[in-house]
Amino acid sequence: MPTTFNPATTSRAADVIARCQSLVRFSEDASSLRRTFLSAPMRDCHNAIAEWLRPLNITPTIDAAGNLRAIYSAATSDAPRLLIGSHIDTVPNAGAFDGPLGVLLGIALLEQLDGQRLPFAIELIAFSEEEGVRFSTPFIGSCAVVGSYDEDFLNRRDANGISIRKAIQDFGLDPAQLPAAQLGDDVLGYVEFHIEQGPVLESLSLPLAAVEAIVGQTRLALTFVGQANHAGTTPMNARHDALSAAAEWIVAVESESNRFAGLVATVGSIQAYPGAANVVPGEVRLTLDVRHKSDQVRTQAVQRLASLAQQLAARRAIKANFAIFLNQPAVAMDSFLIAQVESAIRAAGCPPYRMPSGAGHDAMILASRVPSAMIFVRTPGGISHDPAESVLLEDVACAIDCGGNLLKQLAASPEFLLSLNASSSWQRTDTPRG
């Protein structure tokens, strides 16, 4: 791993970190960071990004979904484009780097080009919404860009009864212009830098990783139905205790999941009824969230855990009922771009590493439309969605080197530059538009 970087790269990395930190002041909450879809602080954020782009002679636009879009032009006016981006909305009590790091690294890469023109334009996108906080609907910005929305989507309401459509109007934008926000057929790919938000890279002492896939998820609701009864008069051997059954099953979920590499399963919510100290619990409702990069491993794990619940319920003469409420397949990143990212990491002097993403990202939505890649940046302590979220200066410098190498490699790759002709007919027929 490089111990020293070019001083210009280190100084650029320090700028990226300082800029991410400076965006923290644009918040809906006085003492912590919360910046949701098309809130007033989002406009301040747009203005700050526009100021950083001004020395590059780039004037960004805001599309009808509130995404900031900025074009660094190519050597020729009819050239295709590469997208680089991430999101600038946040969760409540957020850190400075989840999302903005990918946008600010994109700007740093444009600065680093120092006016050099590539055979493709670079479109920087700062997505307006990824976290799903305001409308309980994530990826509003990226869904608009790939054209994956409908009337029902635009009519969803926030806690104050304001629809997505109305929020767009209130920000001074025109929902009728949403079709114009969609990507054209001239996009070569999408690259997103993002903090890992987990402990893996830190445990391996690695600064960066190429993301191979965004894991699939199954979520289900499970109910154990036993018999509520008097806690004093019902002997232990005459009980049908739903909570004891749930406890046994939760421990089994943990031990079963440990047997399969990369499988994660979580019981994140539990309610016992009637919920009194002197009543044997008659009913327990839980949720189960299972994730893996392989859809087959995930589906089999869900079946195994469901059948375990039924077996232990039968042994206790109670019932176990399931309802699946989310079944989302894994999304693979583009294999050509993964290999290019690995080369770029290696050329930056770091050992390449591939890993899945356990969290959803804009790249997952973009991948439905264009070849997509993600690069994870080590997250100290694995801490994210918290003000303590941080990055290391040397890792950000490494990310800048990696990004510069990637642009160089792609600009010199006939396979990449000609890929549009091979895939454009697929893009036109496979994605609903308008």
Q: Give the residues lining the site for Zn ion (CB under 5 A).
A: 98-99
Whole-number minimum distance, CB 166 to Zn ion, in Å? 25
Whole-number minimum distance, CB 395 to Zn ion, in Å? 17
Residue 26 corresponds to which tokens in the numbers above? 């644009």
* Residue closer to Zn ion, measured from CB, 86 or 419: 86
Whole-number minimum distance, CB 70 to Zn ion, in Å? 20
Whole-number minimum distance, CB 209 to Zn ion, in Å? 15
* Contact between 354 and 206 (Cβ < 8 Å): no
Q: For residue 421, what is the enclosing H or E element?
A: helix 419-430
Please tell me the total number of residues recorded for the chain in this structure: 434
Residues 146, 99: Cα–Cα separation, whole Å = 19
* Residue closer to Zn ion, measured from CB, 121 or 396: 396
DSSP alpha helix (H) spans, 138-279: 140-146, 151-154, 164-170, 178-181, 200-204, 242-257
* Residue closer to Zn ion, measured from CB, 123 or 131: 131
Residues 69, 34: Cα–Cα separation, whole Å = 22
* Residue closer to Zn ion, measured from CB, 309 or 391: 391
* Residue closer to Zn ion, measured from CB, 99 or 147: 99
Rounded to the nearest angstrom, the gap between the alpha carbon of residue 302 and the centroid of all alpha carbons in its chain is 23
Whole-number minimum distance, CB 282 to Zn ion, in Å? 41
User: Would you tell me the crossing angle of helices 393-411 and 7-22 to the nearest 10 degrees?
Assistant: 110
**CA neighbor of 37 nearest in space, from 160, 201, 202, 194:** 160
Whole-number minimum distance, CB 159 to Zn ion, in Å? 22
* Residue closer to Zn ion, measured from CB, 313 or 364: 364
* Residue closer to Zn ion, measured from CB, 80 or 99: 99
Whole-number minimum distance, CB 114 to Zn ion, in Å? 29
* Residue closer to Zn ion, measured from CB, 80 or 141: 141
Whole-number minimum distance, CB 17 to Zn ion, in Å? 17
Which residues, at least 6 apart from 24, have a Cβ–Cβ distance to it below 8 Å?
33, 96
**CA neighbor of 167 nearest in space, from 177, 157, 181, 180:** 157
Whole-number minimum distance, CB 106 to Zn ion, in Å? 14
Which residues, at least 6 apart from 405, have a Cβ–Cβ distance to it below 8 Å?
343, 344, 347, 348
Q: Which amino acid, one-letter code, is at 164?
A: I
Q: Which residues partner with 194 through β-bridges?
A: 376
The torsion angles phi and psi of 127, rounded to 5 degrees, stand at: -70, 140
Rounded to the nearest angstrom, the gap between the alpha carbon of residue 297 and the centroid of all alpha carbons in its chain is 21
* Residue closer to Zn ion, measured from CB, 60 or 99: 99
Residues 68, 61: Cα–Cα separation, whole Å = 6
Residue 55 corresponds to which tokens in the numbers above? 């020395």
